[in-house]
A = this chain, B = another copy of it.
Amino acid sequence: MAHSHDVPADLTRNQGLVMGALNHSVGPLSAYDILDKLRADGLRAPLQVYRALDKLVERGLAHRLESLNAFVACADEHCHRKGLIAFAICEGCGKVDEFADAVIEERLGDWAQAKGFKVERTTMEIRGKCEVCVAQAA
Protein backbone atom coordinates (compact mmCIF):
# COMPACT_ATOMS: atom_id res chain seq x y z
CA MET A 1 0.00 0.00 0.00
CA ALA A 2 1.19 3.48 -0.75
CA HIS A 3 2.52 5.80 1.88
CA SER A 4 0.58 8.95 2.53
CA HIS A 5 3.12 11.71 2.78
CA ASP A 6 2.43 15.21 1.76
CA VAL A 7 5.10 16.22 -0.67
CA PRO A 8 6.81 19.44 0.41
CA ALA A 9 5.80 22.27 -1.84
CA ASP A 10 9.30 23.49 -2.61
CA LEU A 11 10.45 20.47 -4.52
CA THR A 12 11.34 20.96 -8.14
CA ARG A 13 9.34 19.17 -10.81
CA ASN A 14 11.72 16.24 -11.10
CA GLN A 15 12.16 15.95 -7.37
CA GLY A 16 8.40 15.93 -6.94
CA LEU A 17 7.95 13.22 -9.55
CA VAL A 18 10.58 11.01 -7.97
CA MET A 19 9.21 11.60 -4.49
CA GLY A 20 5.77 10.66 -5.76
CA ALA A 21 7.05 7.44 -7.28
CA LEU A 22 8.66 6.47 -4.00
CA ASN A 23 5.57 7.37 -2.00
CA HIS A 24 3.34 5.24 -4.17
CA SER A 25 5.51 2.16 -4.00
CA VAL A 26 5.16 -0.59 -1.42
CA GLY A 27 8.85 -1.35 -1.37
CA PRO A 28 12.16 0.12 -2.39
CA LEU A 29 12.76 1.17 -5.97
CA SER A 30 15.98 1.32 -7.91
CA ALA A 31 16.76 4.49 -9.81
CA TYR A 32 15.96 2.64 -13.01
CA ASP A 33 12.64 1.40 -11.63
CA ILE A 34 11.79 5.01 -10.91
CA LEU A 35 12.89 6.10 -14.34
CA ASP A 36 10.60 3.52 -15.94
CA LYS A 37 7.66 4.73 -13.89
CA LEU A 38 8.29 8.29 -14.90
CA ARG A 39 8.92 8.02 -18.61
CA ALA A 40 5.29 8.98 -19.17
CA ASP A 41 6.00 12.19 -17.30
CA GLY A 42 8.84 13.08 -19.57
CA LEU A 43 11.89 11.75 -17.78
CA ARG A 44 14.37 10.16 -20.14
CA ALA A 45 17.75 9.72 -18.52
CA PRO A 46 19.02 8.05 -15.33
CA LEU A 47 20.79 11.21 -14.34
CA GLN A 48 17.54 13.08 -14.00
CA VAL A 49 16.48 10.52 -11.43
CA TYR A 50 19.81 10.35 -9.64
CA ARG A 51 19.98 14.09 -9.29
CA ALA A 52 16.52 14.24 -7.78
CA LEU A 53 17.34 11.35 -5.47
CA ASP A 54 20.48 13.08 -4.27
CA LYS A 55 18.48 16.07 -3.14
CA LEU A 56 15.74 14.00 -1.56
CA VAL A 57 18.22 11.90 0.38
CA GLU A 58 20.10 15.03 1.40
CA ARG A 59 16.89 16.45 2.85
CA GLY A 60 15.97 13.21 4.54
CA LEU A 61 12.83 12.73 2.49
CA ALA A 62 14.17 9.50 1.08
CA HIS A 63 16.75 6.94 2.10
CA ARG A 64 19.19 4.89 0.15
CA LEU A 65 19.39 1.20 0.97
CA GLU A 66 22.98 0.25 0.32
CA SER A 67 22.44 -3.46 0.37
CA LEU A 68 19.80 -3.20 -2.35
CA ASN A 69 21.07 -0.29 -4.41
CA ALA A 70 17.60 1.08 -4.07
CA PHE A 71 15.64 3.88 -2.45
CA VAL A 72 12.62 4.30 -0.19
CA ALA A 73 10.54 7.22 0.96
CA CYS A 74 11.26 8.17 4.54
CA ALA A 75 8.69 6.50 6.75
CA ASP A 76 8.54 9.31 9.23
CA GLU A 77 5.49 11.43 8.46
CA HIS A 78 7.18 14.73 9.07
CA CYS A 79 10.72 13.64 8.53
CA HIS A 80 11.90 14.61 11.97
CA ARG A 81 14.34 11.74 12.17
CA LYS A 82 17.75 12.67 13.36
CA GLY A 83 20.77 10.47 13.59
CA LEU A 84 21.06 6.80 12.99
CA ILE A 85 18.26 4.97 11.26
CA ALA A 86 18.06 1.21 10.92
CA PHE A 87 16.18 -0.62 8.19
CA ALA A 88 14.68 -4.08 8.32
CA ILE A 89 14.23 -5.40 4.82
CA CYS A 90 11.98 -8.39 4.20
CA GLU A 91 13.32 -10.76 1.56
CA GLY A 92 9.83 -12.14 1.13
CA CYS A 93 7.56 -9.21 0.41
CA GLY A 94 10.15 -6.49 -0.03
CA LYS A 95 8.72 -4.25 2.64
CA VAL A 96 11.06 -2.08 4.63
CA ASP A 97 10.62 -1.16 8.25
CA GLU A 98 12.47 1.87 9.53
CA PHE A 99 13.42 2.44 13.13
CA ALA A 100 15.81 4.28 15.40
CA ASP A 101 17.47 3.05 18.55
CA ALA A 102 19.13 5.44 20.93
CA VAL A 103 21.11 2.72 22.69
CA ILE A 104 22.68 1.52 19.47
CA GLU A 105 23.49 5.05 18.53
CA GLU A 106 25.11 5.58 21.89
CA ARG A 107 27.18 2.41 21.62
CA LEU A 108 28.43 3.46 18.23
CA GLY A 109 29.21 6.90 19.57
CA ASP A 110 31.21 5.36 22.40
CA TRP A 111 33.16 3.18 20.05
CA ALA A 112 33.88 6.11 17.76
CA GLN A 113 35.01 8.30 20.61
CA ALA A 114 37.30 5.61 21.97
CA LYS A 115 38.89 5.20 18.55
CA GLY A 116 38.98 8.87 17.64
CA PHE A 117 36.84 8.08 14.61
CA LYS A 118 34.72 10.93 13.29
CA VAL A 119 31.39 9.50 12.15
CA GLU A 120 29.77 11.10 9.15
CA ARG A 121 27.12 8.61 8.17
CA THR A 122 25.96 5.21 9.33
CA THR A 123 24.28 2.45 7.40
CA MET A 124 22.41 -0.25 9.21
CA GLU A 125 20.38 -2.79 7.32
CA ILE A 126 18.85 -6.01 8.53
CA ARG A 127 17.91 -8.60 5.95
CA GLY A 128 15.46 -11.32 6.81
CA LYS A 129 11.78 -12.13 6.82
CA CYS A 130 8.95 -10.13 8.31
CA GLU A 131 6.37 -11.69 10.58
CA VAL A 132 3.85 -12.22 7.78
CA CYS A 133 6.33 -13.89 5.46
CA VAL A 134 7.72 -16.10 8.23
CA ALA A 135 4.19 -17.31 8.92
CA GLN A 136 3.57 -18.02 5.24
CA ALA A 137 6.74 -20.05 4.90
CA ALA A 138 5.70 -22.34 7.77
Query: A residues touching B (Cβ–Cβ < 8 Å)?
Result: 66-67, 86, 88, 90-91, 97, 99, 101, 103-104, 107-108, 111-112, 115-131, 134
Contacts and interface: CB of A to CB of B under 8 A. Distances in A.
Copies of this chain per assembly: 2
Contact of A128 (B67, B97, B118, B129): B118
A131 B129 CA distance: 38
A118 B127 CA distance: 8
Contacts of A101: 107-108, 111
Contacts of A99: 111
Contacts of A129: 117-118, 120
A32 B60 CA distance: 32
A112 B123 CA distance: 17
A91 to B, nearest CB: 7
A129 to B, nearest CB: 5
Contact of A117 (B88, B107, B125): B88
